[in-house]
Amino acid sequence: MPVARTNRLVDQTSPYLLQHATNPVDWWPWCDEAFEEARRRDVPVLVSVGYSACHWCHVMAHESFEDAEVAQVVNANFVAVKVDREERPDVDAVYMEAVQLVTGSGGWPMTVLTLHDGRPFWAGTYLPRQHLLGLVSRVSEVWVQRRTDVERDAQALTDALQRGTALPGHELTGHELTGHQLAFPPTPAGANAQGTPGEGALGAAASALLANHDPEWGGRAGAPKFPQPATLEVLARHWHRTGDEAAGRAWRLTLDAMSSGGMYDHLGGGFARYSTDRRWLVPHFEKMLYDNALLLRSYTQAWQLTGAPRYRQVVEETVGYLLAPPMRLPDRAWASAEDADSEGTEGRFYTWDYTEVVEVGGAEVAAWYGVTPEGNWEGRNILWRPGRGDLARPPELDRARAALSERRSQRVRPGLDDKVLTEWNAMAVASVSAAGAAFDRADWISEAVATAEALCRLTRRPDGRWLRSWRAGQQGPPAFCGDYAWLTDAFTRLYEATGDARWAHEAVRTAKEMERLFWDPDGGGFFTYGQDAPPLVARLKDAYDGAAPAANSVAAASLGRLGHLTGDRHMTDMALRLVERLWPAMQRTPSGFPAMALAADELTVGGPEVVVAGHDTAMVRPVFERYLPGAVLAWGEPFASPLWEARTGPDSTGKAYVCHGYRCELPVTSPGELARLLDAR
């Protein structure tokens, strides 16, 4: 049997890159040598960016990168570089900004053409086979005959990237810059933001979200619909604080529609990445760790606020999905994602024929999950609860669901991206530990601790430098700001869930390193990649919140929370400076910064400090069960904080203190008394 030809990606650890290791395209990984080769051959660089669970990345691969004719043309005219956007978010961020400048929108797969030094001169997303061939032909001609024009376009686009401003009206090769604002908005000359930084941020964000709310199906009006957990918490917190029923209805409607829809996996738990339609029915079927980690927090908060069993069910089933193979890896960390495709077909694992559902589970379960002979998607059925139906299953339906799940387990499962991403694992640690605390599930907290320990073992160098990823015994590139920000949050919340001071110390250590590596002392804010990393054509700062919060939003929230817990004013001051830096942009576009609005709200409105001396888990239950935005909890093992001053001796054991600005009320000695103090605030 002949051995498949391989390219330079065969030695990589990224599952996405390995998917392309047998392509006839002569791929290079992202490295200096690739650009030197382009300089030696005097050809442009084609940078293709995607990720392993991306359906359209697979489509472009099958149409073009696996095609011998396309490969011959690409190899002759370019040096081709493949990038996993999850492993190299710095590269992805720079070139996605270029795509958005050129086209006004973005997405993956991303296709960018650059000079030998990485400056982009053409940028786009998915290209059908004939379009790609046409692009290669045009660019090859322009490269030879109009090189000055290409270099002019590259410099104009690079200048826009480096300044953080667009160049409206400047024509590129076949495209035009659109005025899209870049990742860290500049403060316009003469800008005069109104009010105190953070003042009214929550209400302004809630109003902007409600103005574009889908009153029938929740979420942002129109389609596709992406879950954005930060927007859910903006609505929840605004309703909780003000009693604004419009915000409360929008929040509940979105939560219920998502968990009833086909975007939620009703057999295995967990959520797909997004819905292609406005009813949350038809997903792109890939399941990402970060979506499930963030939505887990949303549904935990929903249960804390309402006590509704359906939200508890979603939390339990989603944690169940995360803690089972294949997402739970033997090393006790989490895989990054499951693919949308199996057996070469999108959604094959998740969709059903009517006759199979009736055969396995019966007509009643078919009706329960909206399964019909004609199907609801391409002649097959996506399981859902039509019309935002109740999730609570009668016992006979639970048995039928188990039978369907067993039948599905016999199918070919979608491909697994089993690399361990530090950032996404930290998100999951934070959410699973908080859910374990809220629902009194010590086993969940133990799993979160195990993952934190795995990260310390797998994705941290002996010198303390965190790394972005790990897979198959090999460590990835240096970690980015998002990794450090989420680790700070995860370790802080892990301390609050366990009372183990080790995690408070890890949080402080990580936060200090984040400042050293990423903080911009001149312009404010955190850069995406560290000062110890090789430079790219632009050094950006991630500020606009998308499906996941921006790195600067997470940094502001995690520094504010940790500073509040430890009494470290330097951390809270840095978080406030971040909010001040973005405050003018937040006032102009409040819907673009929901996570930063939450951080600003916590920094300005705050919450109580709760101290429980000792390790009595019953005494901390009232804190865990309640939705207490801005509150911090110190209990168990003391560490350096004003909250522990004069509260560590034997006379303090068993006492709980509720404090405001580190000034504490008289201690109480029972969970009921602590609950009354918290409810009276």
* pLDDT tens digits along 367-384: 999 999 999 999 999 999
pTM for the full predicted model: 0.94
- What angle (nearest 5°) sits at the alpha carbon of residue 632, between those of residues 627 and 633? 100
Is residue 518 over pLDDT 70? Answer: yes
Inter-residue contact 35 to 117 (CB < 8 Å): yes
Residue 649 phi, psi (nearest 5): -80, 175
Looking at residue 4, its pLDDT comes to: 66
Instruction: Tell me how crowded residue 138 is: count the other CB atoms within 10 A of its CB.
Output: 13
Cα atoms in the Cβ-side hemisphere of radius 13 Å centred on 82:
30
Euclidean distance between CA atoms 423 and 103, whole angstroms: 29
Report the alpha-carbon distance of residue 299 to residue 252 in Å, rounded.
10
Confidence of residue 164 (pLDDT cuts 50, 70, 90): low
Q: Is the pLDDT of residue 170 over 50?
A: no
Residue 171 pLDDT > 80: no
Contacts of 40 (CB under 8 A, 6+ apart): none
Distances in Å between the Cα of 627 and the Cα atoms of 153, 553, 567, 622 are: 52, 21, 22, 10
Cβ atoms of 385 and 369 within 8 Å: the answer is yes
Domain ranges of the chain: 8-176, 201-340+417-604, 350-410, 609-679
From CA 621, how far away is CA 14, in angstroms rounded? 42
Q: Is 165 a residue whose pLDDT tops 80?
A: no
| Helices and strands (DSSP H and E) totals, the chain | 24, 23
Q: What is the pLDDT of residue 157?
A: 94
Q: In this predicted structure, what is the pLDDT of residue 199?
A: 76
Q: Does residue 491 register a pLDDT over 50?
A: yes
* Residue among 578, 590, 529, 586 at smallest CA distance from 553: 578
Is pLDDT of 655 > 60? yes
Q: Residue 167: what pLDDT?
A: 28
Cα 535 to Cα 31, 85, 501, 523, 532: the distances in Å are 12, 17, 37, 18, 9
Rounded Cα gap, residues 639 and 641, in angstroms:
6
Tell me how far apart the alpha carbons of residues 195 and 193 are, in angstroms, rounded to a whole number: 7
The CA angle 388-394-398, to the nearest 5 degrees, is 95
CATH number for region 8-176 = 3.40.30.10
Question: What is the Cα–Cα distance from 466 to 420, expressed in whole angstroms?
Answer: 13
Relative to beta strand 656-660, strand 663-664 is antiparallel
pLDDT of residue 195: 67
Q: Provide CB contacts within 8 A for 518, sequence distance 6+.
A: 481, 484, 526, 527, 528, 529, 530, 531
To the nearest 10 degrees (0 to 180), the angle between helices 442-458 and 481-498 is: 140
CA distance 461 to 483: 14
pLDDT digit string (tens) for 572-612?
999 999 999 999 999 999 999 999 999 999 999 989 999 99
Per-residue pLDDT at 168 exceeds 70: no
Distance, CA of 648 to CA of 241 (rounded, Å): 34
Question: Hey, what CATH topology would domain 201-340+417-604 get?
Answer: Glycosyltransferase (1.50.10)
Q: Do residues 392 and 311 touch, judged by C-beta distance below 8 A?
A: no
Secondary structure class of 275 (helix, strand, coil): strand
Query: What is the C-alpha separation between 612 and 4, in angstroms, rounded?
Result: 62
Report residue 663 as tokens.
């000034």
Tell me whether the CATH fold assigned to 8-176 matches the one assigned to 201-340+417-604: no
pLDDT for the residue 181? 34
Distance CA 223, CA 256 (A): 17
- The per-residue pLDDT for 166 is 34
d(CA 611, CA 557): 21
Measuring CA to CA, which residue among 269, 286, 272, 273 is closest to residue 321? Answer: 269
Q: pLDDT digit string (tens) for 459-471? A: 999 999 999 999 9
Q: How far is it, in rounded angstroms, from Cα 379 to Cα 373? A: 8
Element (H, E) at 469: strand 469-471
Report percent pLDDT > 90 for the chain: 88
pLDDT for 635: 97
SS3 641: coil
Position 259: which residue type?
A: S
Structure tokens at 424: 């996404």
Q: What is the pLDDT of residues 63-94, one digit of tens each?
A: 999 999 999 999 999 999 999 999 999 999 99
* Furthest CA-CA distance within the chain: 84
